A and B are shown apart, each in its own frame.
Chain A
Amino acid sequence: SQTIHQWPATLVQPVGSPLSLECTVEGTSNPNLYWYRQAAGRGLQLLFYSVGIGQISSEVPQNLSASRPQDRQFILSSKKLLLSDSGFYLCAWIWDGEQFFGPGTRLTVL
């Protein structure tokens, strides 16, 4: 069966520090992968999506970047975190036309 993992589950970082969040998918190949951010426990904002290795599309200009170094790995990064980067980050993938979500990473920037 297909599963999606996110690491770490929670993270507290100071302003100006770097960031690396990882998403990995098991049980499938060449999935479409997505990064979302959810602020204040409400609406989701699509940040990036990827249809294959090395292919990244950015939906919102911001302080973040994404990379897909392997088929089933999707990484969200920042060189210098801002307070406004705090939120709940969700990775998702597509199977049979449906999006399935990982457990999420809670990021707090202090």
Chain B
Amino acid sequence: AQSVAQPEDQVNVAEGNPLTVKCTYSVSGNPYLFWYVQYPNRGLQFLLKYITGDNLVKGSYGFEAEFNKSQTSFHLKKPSALVSDSALYFCAVRDPYSGAGSYQLTFGKGTKLSVIP
């Protein structure tokens, strides 16, 4: 069974500093990995995904994520945090061999990012 762990419930970072939101995964085959962001009382917004290719994936709003197969990690990063980046961030994984055409994603519990002015 596939699983995702986001070890930090909350991450605090000063505005202008680099930020990292951690994610590790477990899946039987090569994973499809995703990051989503959620603002209060809103649906989830897609940020970026890793399917194959370059380990460094660039996404929306200046975010990027690095896929590390040996460490089974997919950490979200941004070189310079903005106050507007404050939100709830979810990592998700899909096992491409899960079959049944369901395209089910397994989500982590989420990490609350607070960017302090």
Interface residues of chain A, those whose CB is within 8 Å of chain B, are 6, 32, 34, 41-44, 46, 49, 51, 57, 88, 90, 92, 94, 97-104, 106
CB of A86, distance to nearest CB on chain B (Å): 14
* Interface-side segment among B21-29, B67-75, B77-85, B107-115: B107-115
Residues of A within 8 A of B102 (CB): 32, 49, 51, 57
Residues of B in contact, count (CB < 8 Å): 26
25 contacts between A and B (CB under 8 A): A6-B43, A32-B102, A32-B103, A34-B104, A41-B88, A42-B110, A43-B107, A43-B109, A43-B110, A44-B44, A44-B90, A46-B104, A46-B105, A51-B101, A51-B102, A88-B41, A97-B32, A97-B49, A98-B46, A99-B92, A99-B105, A101-B44, A102-B43, A104-B43, A106-B41
